[in-house]
Amino acid sequence: MPGEGDRKHPYRGDRSDPQWRVILERVTPGRVVPRAFALLGAVVLTLVAACAPAAPAPDPCAPAVPGGSVQIVDVPGVRLHVTVAGRAGAPVVVLLHGFPETAATWRAVATDLAADHRVVVPDLRGAGCSGHAPPGSDAYATRDLAGDLAALAEALRLAPATVVGHDLGAMTAVAWARARPEQVGHLVLSGGGVPGFGLAERGPPHLRTFGDAPPGAVERAERPRLRAFLAGFTGTAAFPLDEAVAAHTPPGRLDAAMGRYRALDRDAAANRADPRSLAMPVLVVAGGAPDLAAETVTALRPDRRVVVVPGAGHYVLVERPGAFADAVRAEAR
């Protein structure tokens, strides 16, 4: 049963659950951020890295798809870094990343889909090589990111797209689909719940903890151990950790990512105040565990469908990219 503190802060969840392996560190009076990583695994990673020859850091601004083109698109309030690949005129698929992801996390899936689709892979506001929110605004709510994507679709003259969102990107995909349904023909979600429709009760503890931390606190606390901090979120050797580290190393990048968590309460309030359902078909691609997207999108689309990919967890897009691409391809006709 949740305690009094959990009733006050519903995103925090049950910290006694060993599933999360959460170690809490105080960063400012009354504030905490989680160290969600296995200590032994971190030691092993450190020893392996020390013995291995140094490799050049990945370029976070490289195209997310080999052979794809990078386009810099100015939308109101921010400049977006976008990879476009595949044949012009083919069915459009837009891939939206979560945390600690960037557009590069979609590389295998996007490369597969680009064989017969027009694939658009943006770094979302504040991530990768896209610009930050305007100074002082902390404008990282899903409505802000959805506005960026609507303007991007207009700038690139995209046909109604199959929009695919993973993790925090799933929340943004839902916000875009509700705000501009004429731009979104199909919606594919994976590993990301919908704020305001059960995410608070079902989500992992770090959602509330990051959401409560003041701007800059998490970055100040975790920059000295950035690699271990990010590794704690992945849980799979398939995740492109080097690229995530390179993308979050520049000052301000980790805090921009935390801006999405600080916006969760705003997202939840906005979603509950909006009576619109999702007008397009919704598919959830899940690993072999209950998926937050499936559990929370039902209120907006009761007939949502679920495809379970065996042998994968939260990061099904990197653990089983071929199966993930096949599920999207079946939807994006």
pLDDT band at 32 (very low <50, low <70, confident <90, very high): very low
- In-domain check, residue 30: yes
pLDDT > 80? residue 274: yes
Given a contact cutoff of 8 angstroms between Cβ atoms, the answer to whether 145 and 98 are in contact is no
274 vs 43 pLDDT, higher one: 274
CATH number at residue 91: 3.40.50.1820
Residues ≥6 apart with Cβ < 8 Å to 209:
11, 12, 24, 32, 33, 34
- In-domain check, residue 192: yes
pLDDT band at 40 (very low <50, low <70, confident <90, very high): very low
- In-domain check, residue 62: no
Q: Tell me the per-residue pLDDT of 83-133, one tens digit each, with 9 for 90 and over.
A: 999 999 999 999 999 999 999 999 999 999 999 999 999 999 999 999 999
What pLDDT score was predicted for residue 333? 81
Q: Tell me the per-residue pLDDT of 125-165, one tens digit each, with 9 for 90 and over.
A: 999 999 999 999 999 999 999 999 999 999 999 999 999 99
Burial of 50 (0-12, 13-18, 19+ CB in 10 A): exposed
**What is the tally of structural domains in the chain?**
1
* CA end-to-end distance (rounded Å), the chain: 46
- In-domain check, residue 305: yes
Return the amino acid letter for 185.
G
pLDDT band at 288 (very low <50, low <70, confident <90, very high): confident
C-alpha–C-alpha distance, residues 169 and 146, integer Å: 10
What pLDDT score was predicted for residue 70? 97
Mean pLDDT score, 38-53: 40
Instruction: List the one residue out of 151, 206, 210, 143 whose CA is nearest residue 178.
Output: 143
- Residue-range definition of the domain harbouring residue 90: 4-57+69-331
289 vs 192 pLDDT, higher one: 192
Mean pLDDT of the chain: 86
Instruction: List the one residue out of 222, 207, 215, 212 whose CA is nearest residue 255.
Output: 215
pLDDT > 90? residue 219: yes
- In-domain check, residue 220: yes
pLDDT > 70? residue 10: no
Return the amino acid letter for 196.
G
C-alpha–C-alpha distance, residues 100 and 233, integer Å: 7
Q: Tell me the per-residue pLDDT of 295-331, one tens digit each, with 9 for 90 and over.
A: 999 999 999 999 999 989 999 999 999 999 999 999 9
- In-domain check, residue 64: no
- In-domain check, residue 99: yes
Instruction: List the one residue out of 293, 256, 241, 225 whose CA is nearest residue 78.
Output: 256
- In-domain check, residue 137: yes
What pLDDT score was predicted for residue 39? 36
